[in-house]
């Protein structure tokens, strides 16, 4: 893969990840669709695109997903949708990716990885930034329920990513997991059928989120991952919250407060320190 092609595909993947937040918030803020229906349509359309990608690849590869990974995926998708009922896209993306990276780092520590003092400082800074978004009494603080759900979604996505390291072909594995997660989302939709609501715009946003920014976005990301170091890939994902915040300003008229900027610098900067030191340690 040429360097130019790699850069283009990485950029498209990161824009797709940020686009998920924008599309979900647009749907739940500006249309009548309910979060359970949005989750179901997103997972179904994502599964369809990923399965089409596996058919296009031709040769059958190992990996078809599993129910535990699908459960983590369903928890992520549902928490993501229900959180965006009440919190803005810029805050949601920051909480999501901060929680994802915290989960990945926490797993590394639990597995025996020892942190350098720079990494410890970075982790404490990131945790402080994350906790600052939950402090009561602060102006423009996000609703605690929505913020909590987004953190749960981030933890679930971190678990899903960690389990994905042990799978076979990533596109086929994701397709199988999306299909299983869609079945779980169907159960959730049936349980909450009294609150179900659909309209054309909401359905369109949900399908776009599933087919384009989820299914196609993940397929692109896993296509470029072999060409990236793990630390580089993790660092690149830190650009998603700023991209989502920029998109929220353009498409949702969301304001960016100084407190959100400070929290973003603390969370993303702290995690960046952890990843930077890990990369330095791997080189020595």
The dihedral region occupied by 112, where left means phi > 0, alpha psi between -120 and 50, and beta the remainder, is left
pLDDT reported for residue 159: 92
Q: What local confidence, expressed as pLDDT, does residue 44 receive? A: 97
Summarize pLDDT for 228-248 with one digit per residue, the tens. Answer: 776 667 777 878 888 888 899
Burial class (CB in 10 A: 0-12, 13-18, 19+), 42: buried
- For the stretch 83-127, pLDDT in tens is 999 999 988 988 898 888 888 878 877 877 777 788 788 878 887
d(CA 173, CA 113): 28
What local confidence, expressed as pLDDT, does residue 137 receive? 52
Share of the chain above pLDDT 70, in %: 89
Structure tokens at 129: 């930034």
pLDDT at residue 139, as a whole number: 53
CB count in 10 Å sphere of residue 233: 16
More confident residue, 105 or 157: 157
pTM of the model: 0.86
Reported as a single tens digit per residue, the pLDDT across 49-79 is 998 888 866 555 555 789 999 999 999 999 9
The answer to whether residue 38 scores a pLDDT higher than 60 is: yes
Structure tokens at 131: 């906790």
Mean pLDDT for all residues in the chain: 85
Higher pLDDT, 274 or 278: 274
The torsion defined by the Cα of 214, 254, 257 and 123, in degrees rounded to 10, comes to -10
pLDDT reported for residue 202: 96
């Amino acid at each position: 893969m040429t360097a130019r092609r790699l850069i283009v595909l990485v950029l498209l993947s990161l824009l797709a990840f940020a686009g998920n937040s924008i599309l979900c918030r647009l749907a739940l803020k500006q249309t009548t669709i309910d979060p359970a229906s949005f989750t179901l349509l997103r997972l179904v359309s994502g599964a369809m695109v990923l399965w089409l990608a596996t058919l296009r690849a031709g040769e059958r590869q190992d990996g078809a997903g599993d129910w535990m990974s699908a459960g983590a995926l369903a928890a992520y998708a549902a928490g993501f949708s229900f959180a965006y009922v009440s919190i803005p896209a810029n805050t949601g993306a920051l909480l999501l990716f901060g929680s994802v990276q915290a989960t990945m780092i926490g797993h590394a520590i639990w597995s025996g990885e020892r942190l350098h003092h720079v990494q410890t400082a970075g982790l404490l800074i990131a945790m402080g930034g994350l906790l600052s978004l939950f402090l009561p009494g602060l102006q423009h603080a996000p609703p605690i329920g929505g913020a909590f759900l987004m953190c749960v979604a981030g933890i679930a996505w971190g678990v899903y990513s960690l389990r994905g390291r042990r799978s076979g072909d990533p596109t086929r594995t994701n397709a199988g997991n999306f299909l299983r997660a869609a079945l779980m989302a169907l159960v959730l939709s049936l349980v909450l059928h009294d609150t179900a609501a659909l309209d054309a715009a909401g359905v369109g946003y949900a399908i776009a989120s599933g087919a384009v920014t989820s299914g196609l976005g993940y397929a692109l990301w896993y296509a470029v991952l072999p060409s990236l170091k793990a630390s580089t890939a993790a660092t690149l994902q830190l650009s998603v919250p700023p991209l989502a915040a920029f998109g929220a300003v353009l498409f949702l008229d969301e304001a960016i407060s100084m407190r959100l900027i400070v929290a973003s610098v603390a969370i993303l900067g702290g995690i960046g320190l952890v990843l930077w030191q890990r990369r330095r340690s791997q080189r020595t």
